[in-house]
Homo-oligomer: A and B are copies of this chain.
């Protein structure tokens, strides 16, 4: 099975702490490397994680709070110094466009690669990016300012051909693609061998939903239903539920409820408030509702399974 990995570069919230960097993750799926969010210090974390800077194909920004985008100009600038030539695609709420342009015009003079800005309508669930093997959709969230999460999904792949059956029936090379695409085989004697005896189904396509930042959305689960892994912000424990609501954030219990209702396989929590010295209380609160829960942590890697 091809890798589908989530690397945590930062999972803190707005205030700097000794423990966490601001939000950023790397998503490796099929042959692509994406970044989601790019808080201050992200380029330092990319170096620390030993990720090849120039492999980053596109960056998806959820919303325009500093802890999710202040690292962008530094990263763009560094990619230039590292000799990048391939375009970099940035998907973000449209208000980022003019701010980034002014910064780049001044600080990134003579950049030898193109930065292509794609406006994202955060108010709808729609396709933001698509290639032959991956699709990325926006997930509208409610965080006072325009904000959306992103769902990264593999596209279904063709079934695998069973080598033993191909050999047994002496099916010629030129016909194998037809079989991959669903054709049966008719032997010289006229016997029909149904496709499902000649192939094995491909692994089910996997998906990862990144949901940060948002107040609790009871209907959110419908947009991420059946997701393999969901990252949901859990800035607070339930004892701070009022504060969470006031600042348009979620509690661990609320994050777990979304994962439970979505029938997700696993839940990853992050965007921890600076008030928590350790996040075990957050973890335990979520596990009471959704046992297969994990805490994000800088440099951790999670497989989407």
Contacts and interface: CB of A to CB of B under 8 A. Distances in A.
Interface of A: 14-18, 21, 40-41, 43-44, 46-48, 64-66, 70-71, 73-74, 77-78, 81-82, 95, 98-99, 102-103, 106-107
Contact of A43 (B40, B77, B82): B40
A122 to B, nearest CB: 16
Contacts of A15: 78, 81-82
A70 B74 contact: yes
A216 to B, nearest CB: 22
SS class of chain A's interface: helix, strand, loop or mixed? helix
A99 B95 contact: no
The interface centre, meaning the residue of A14, A41, A106 with most chain B CB atoms within 10 A of its CB, is A41
Nearest to A41: B41
Nearest to A98: B102
A257 to B, nearest CB: 28
Given A16-B78, A99-B102, A102-B102, A44 B21 contact: yes
Closest 9 CB pairs of A and B: A40-B74, A41-B41, A70-B74, A66-B77, A16-B47, A16-B43, A16-B44, A66-B107, A66-B74
The interface centre, meaning the residue of A17, A18, A44, A47 with most chain B CB atoms within 10 A of its CB, is A44
Contacts of A16: 43-44, 46-47, 78
13 contacts: A14-B81, A15-B81, A16-B43, A40-B40, A40-B41, A40-B43, A40-B44, A40-B71, A66-B74, A70-B70, A95-B106, A102-B102, A103-B103
B64 A106 contact: yes
A107 B43 contact: no
Q: Give the number of copies in the complex.
A: 2
Nearest to A50: B18
A66 B73 contact: yes
A41 B40 CA distance: 6
A288 to B, nearest CB: 31
A46 B41 CA distance: 13
A95 B102 CA distance: 12
Contact of A44 (B41, B48, B81): B41
Contacts of A41: 40-41, 44
A248 B16 CA distance: 33
A18 B66 contact: no
A40 B107 CA distance: 14
Nearest to A72: B70
B17 A47 contact: yes
A205 to B, nearest CB: 35
A103 to B, nearest CB: 6
Contacts of A71: 40
A53 to B, nearest CB: 9
A57 B52 CA distance: 39
A62 to B, nearest CB: 15
Given A16-B47, A70-B74, A98-B102, 14 more contacts: A15-B82, A16-B46, A40-B40, A40-B70, A40-B74, A41-B41, A64-B106, A64-B107, A66-B73, A66-B77, A70-B73, A70-B77, A95-B106, A99-B103
